[in-house]
């Protein structure tokens, strides 16, 4: 397991973290080592768990948890292409992301698990290598952080 900031979770690592927040989902969609399990006929009708990219899965969580999502560029709050969506939970936890679903899922994870969590090392490696090629990894206080660069 590797400690990582919730604010930089993306891809399989973010989906795994959301599954950890959802009762019963982690056991259905991941093995003991954090590897995704794929179904021909999944319990909820989906082949895999991808709430950070599947509108059907992610929007249910956003609505149920009453997470507010704001497109900052459209609201004139910031002028940036990176992480211009902000999500705010009913407990006043907030998170940014490049899309509504990523911001919403980061916010959900932060609300339940906190600012940093332990994620299977394989998922962190996949996240850093495959999901964020323009960013670099460094560690702060033993926690993986990603710096835009």
Encode pLDDT of 8-23 as tens digits: 999 989 999 999 998 8
> Which residues span the domain enclosing 110?
2-148
Neighbours of 57 (CB within 10 A): 22
Q: What is the pLDDT of residue 25?
A: 81
Mean pLDDT over each residue of the chain, to the nearest integer: 78
- HSE at residue 69, side-chain half, CA atoms within 13 A, is 22
pLDDT band at 28 (very low <50, low <70, confident <90, very high): confident
Q: What is the pLDDT of residue 29?
A: 79
Q: What is the pLDDT of residue 140?
A: 43
- Over residues 46-52, the mean pLDDT reads 82
User: How many independent structural domains does the chain possess?
Assistant: 1
pTM score of the predicted model: 0.76
Encode pLDDT of 59-112 as tens digits: 999 999 999 999 876 555 555 555 689 999 999 999 999 999 999 999 999 999
Q: Which residues contact 96 (CB under 8 A, 6 or more apart)?
A: 7, 83, 84, 85, 86, 87, 103, 106
């Amino acid at each position: 397991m590797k400690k990582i900031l919730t604010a930089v979770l993306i891809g399989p690592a973010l989906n795994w973290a959301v599954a950890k927040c959802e009762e019963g989902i982690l056991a259905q969609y991941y093995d003991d080592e954090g590897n995704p399990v794929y179904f021909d006929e999944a319990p909820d009708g989906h082949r895999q768990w991808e709430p950070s990219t599947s509108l059907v899965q992610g929007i249910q969580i956003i609505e149920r948890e009453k997470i507010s999502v704001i497109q900052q560029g459209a609201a004139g709050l910031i002028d940036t292409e990176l992480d211009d969506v902000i999500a705010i939970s009913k407990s006043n936890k907030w998170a940014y992301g490049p899309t509504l679903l990523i911001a919403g899922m980061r916010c959900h994870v932060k609300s339940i698990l906190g600012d940093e969590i332990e994620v299977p090392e394989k998922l962190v490696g996949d996240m850093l290598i495959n999901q964020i090629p323009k960013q670099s990894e460094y560690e702060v206080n033993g926690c993986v952080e990603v710096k835009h660069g």
